[in-house]
Amino acid sequence: MQAIRSILVVMEPNQPEGLALRRAKLIASVTQSHLHLLVCDKKHDYTDFLGEVTGTLQEEGFSVSSQQAWHENLHHTIITVQQAEGCGLVVKRHLPDNPLKKALLTPDDWKLLRYCPGPVLMVKTDKPWAGGVILAAVDVGNADGEHRTLHSSIISHAFDIASLAKANLHVVTAHPSPMLSAADPVFQLKESIETRYREQCKSFQDEYGFGDEQLHIEEGPADVLIPYVAHQLGAAVTVIGTIARTGLSGVLMGNTSEVVLDALESDVLVLKPEAVIGHLEELVAQR
């Protein structure tokens, strides 16, 4: 988070000081990042709106630029500008999608999470980050190199946000239910599964200095448990990662981050591994 030099803020013209801009200002005030404001619209001219907001932010001491653009659809517009401006973070407000529409069409915010070659912060509430809980969701059951790197990134970003907001870091991981038929005896008893997961989390605890009371190891599906634990803790931000499956012309992602987006009552920061980011950047460049 500290390495982010430029933040793309998706603006809503009917909300000059919207939730996304407020979060971006909070991050930029600590990281000294540049703010690039984007209005996605092809019908109306928002030059005056962007000029007023830019002027106000400059008076407040922020480095700011702005533009209005439209490229085919909302998520492609955001990604095209993010790549052109070299923004290390996209900040956008998220509103719950209509369940019927979501069943028929892939929501734009899901597409943004799938295809954006960089971290995306979906802002959902005006709940203060300061003094709150920042929840990092990791899947320590997947211990391959790509997942381990992603887990480190998730906890590192969550730790940075907790430091930025003087908040408390918590970590959640879900494990499968015991199976008597499992070949590995470890997975036949709940206690032994939890012990295994705690051991796998030990390196994170040692590196970032959080105790057992901040580690939540729960049994069940991640897309149910992550919102449950976030609700129990009253989390202000949930940091989650996603791994893309390779070998496809399009990028198909595990959908946990998408499914929990509407279920979570917190802001949501979604991260990807470097290899996935590189692949997505190639796809964007080919368009």
1, part of any domain: no
Residue with tokens 């070659």: 117
Residues above pLDDT 90, as percent of the chain: 48
119, part of any domain: no
User: In the beta sheet, which residues pair with residue 93?
Assistant: 123
Please state which of the ranges 161-165, 236-240, 250-254 shows the lowest mean pLDDT: 250-254
Q: How far is CA 223 from CA 151, 160, 174, 197, in A?
A: 17, 24, 9, 18
pLDDT for res 195: 79
Residue with tokens 């070299």: 86
pLDDT tens readout for residues 86-116: 999 999 999 876 665 555 567 788 889 888 8
Residue 160's domain comprises 133-286
- Asked if residue 174 and residue 81 are part of one domain, the reply reads no
230, part of any domain: yes
Q: How many of the other CB atoms lie within 10 Å of CB of 253? A: 19
105, part of any domain: no
Q: What is the DSSP string of 71-108?
A: BSBHHHHHHHHHHHHT-SEEEEE--PPPHHHHHHS--H
For residue 48, the domain's CATH number is: 3.40.50.620
pLDDT tens readout for residues 28-81: 998 999 999 999 999 899 999 999 999 999 999 999 999 999 998 999 999 999
Tokens of 91: 């900040």
- Asked if residue 270 and residue 200 are part of one domain, the reply reads yes
Q: How many of the other CB atoms lie within 10 Å of CB of 10? A: 24
Measured CA to CA, the distance from residue 273 to residue 93 in angstroms comes to 23
For residue 167, the domain's CATH number is: 3.40.50.12370
Domain count, the chain: 2
Q: Is the pLDDT of residue 166 over 50?
A: yes
